[in-house]
Amino acid sequence: MAKITVDGETFEVPDNSMLLPVLLDRGLQVPHYCYHPKLSIDGSCRMCLVKVEGLPKLTISCNTPVRDGMVVDTRGPEVTKARQGVLELLLVNHPLDCPICDQAGECYLQDYAFEYGRRAARTQEPRRKLLKRVDVGPRVVLDQERCILCRRCVRFCKEITETRELGVFNLGDQSVVDIFPDEPLANDYSINTADICPVGALLSKDFHHKMRVWFLDETESVCPNCSNGCNIKIGAARGDVYRFLPRRNDEVNDTWMCDAGRLGYRFVNEHRLREPRVRRANASAVTSWDEALHEAANRLGDLVRRGEPSALATIVSPHLTNEELFTLGQLIGGGLRSTQHDVAVITGAADDFLIKAEKAANARGAHDLGLGAGANGTTIASIRDGITAGTIRGLLVTGTDVWDLWGSEAAAILARLEVLVVVAPNAHPLVDLAHVALPGLTFAEKNGTFTNHAGRVQRIHRALDPGSQPSDGEVFLQLGRRLGMEVAPGVFEPRRIFTEIARQVPAYNALNWDALGNLGALTTDG
């Protein structure tokens, strides 16, 4: 440990660390552009200048190792004046694009210009004209005029993705960030360059000119699109989700997330089911929740009452939270008295960084809670065979992933069923086939937990208000009660159910809802 004095305050810091991260960890406001905790040190922006006693000149804190007895000044007049000078030079050629720039509102240049900038420019020369709206890749757009050449994006492509698409071309004041000819910035993590860009030079095409960032309400959550469970912030406004941003969690995703996950938010906004439907004599009609639940319980319960619970099976959605899955488990065991269930997980491409093969957030959770195959020998395939053979006549489906798993035969298989009850958040051909279709909620409208592939249990928070629409868990609870499931009275309350999970599932014994925090906690299996 080294003892350093900053602005008159003495504290201990670990040896071998650089000064800037130490200052930022203390909550000191040191302006910086090129420094990023997960990238190598570049020292190109010169904004993090501080005064260190004993050194002849001001020094950049990002590249100054701490030393025992160091005395640092981060806000004296000398430092402030130097930063003002650096900022003025950065702004010499920066266009006045703020009104049309998506970065406005979360732009480091704006923030520091507010703090250190002059009101008016002292230069009279015309500003440098460079290329605007350069199509550097399928998901990212580049504006060279706005770039301040901090090279975060270049280092990201070199060090994190190791694809090296971006580079700084030309010399001196002709320098520009660009791609090599015919080699677009198309790696699976390309939008991260837009995140780390401190100004509006690199922007996500998907979010381009969609919404001002200051209107977005940011909610901490977990990416629902694969089992890696990258920590995200959901940016929502006017009842719609506009973007996902990665949130730092060194145990899971550092500060990154993949493009596919980031762009997979549309299902929250589009083609949603809002009202339950019941199909009678081939005509499907919107009904009240009460009537639909009654109908679903009646039809499923009919098979149970006839003494044929073995004719019932359940397809479990890996998109549900642990609490909902637990309630679904109670419904299957206590209400349907069935033992046939499996999780329908779509698998896809994976890499050795963040992208995992299971394209759902909570497949691990479903297995941990005993809803997967193996617990009872039933698999998705055996359920399909059972339906084809006529031994399974009633099916409760949560989510719609099974449709893709069964491929082109799905419609024909499902049409053989006597009873098909579907709980799903989005419109889908599978929902159209259902005898009773009950709308579910997406992850953005729920509180709960997901368990990622490595067994890390992480909280998700409600970003959008679903109004009076019940969550999937509430639907399972209501359905179960109508089928005679024995559960404690009360509504579906994730916190209470999580406590119940922690008591009943051995791997979750050590977990506590309040202690999960915003970074999650590992199960004992993980």
**Closer by beta carbon to another protein, 210 or else 496:** 210
- Give the Cα separation of 248 and 266 in Å (integer): 23
- Give the Cα separation of 121 and 459 in Å (integer): 48
210 binds another protein (CB under 8 A): yes
Q: What is the Cα 184 distance to its own chain's centre?
A: 25
**Amino acid (one-letter) located at 192:** N
Cα dist from 253 to 38, 274, 305, 365, 483, whole Å? 11, 34, 49, 19, 42
129 binds another protein (CB under 8 A): no
- Give the Cα separation of 239 and 241 in Å (integer): 7
Choice from 2, 28, 92, 98 touching another protein (CB under 8 A)? 98
67 binds another protein (CB under 8 A): no
515 binds another protein (CB under 8 A): no
**Closer by beta carbon to another protein, 132 or else 496:** 132
Choice from 8, 99, 172, 489 touching another protein (CB under 8 A)? 99
Q: What tokens appear for 325 in the block?
A: 């899955």
Choice from 89, 100, 131, 491 touching another protein (CB under 8 A)? 100
**Closer by beta carbon to another protein, 145 or else 275:** 145
169 binds another protein (CB under 8 A): no
138 binds another protein (CB under 8 A): no
Q: How far is the CB of 211 from another protein (least distance, A)?
A: 8
Q: What is the largest CA-CA distance in the chain?
A: 90
- Sole window of 35-43, 203-211, 290-298, 434-442 interacting with another protein (rule: CB under 8 A): 203-211
CB count within 10 Å of CB 517 equals 10
3-state secondary structure 364-406: HHHHHCCCCCCCCCCCHHHHHHHHHHCCCCEEEEECCHHHHHH
Judged by CB under 8 A, how many residues of this single chain contact another protein? 21
**Closer by beta carbon to another protein, 111 or else 493:** 111
269 binds another protein (CB under 8 A): no
Residues forming beta bridges with residue 235, ordered by sequence position? 218, 243
126 binds another protein (CB under 8 A): no
88 binds another protein (CB under 8 A): yes
Q: How far is the CB of 76 from another protein (least distance, A)?
A: 12
- Decide if 301 contacts 396 (C-beta within 8 A): no
The residues that touch another protein, with contacts defined as CB under 8 A, are 81, 84-85, 88, 98-100, 104, 117-120, 132-133, 208-212, 214-215
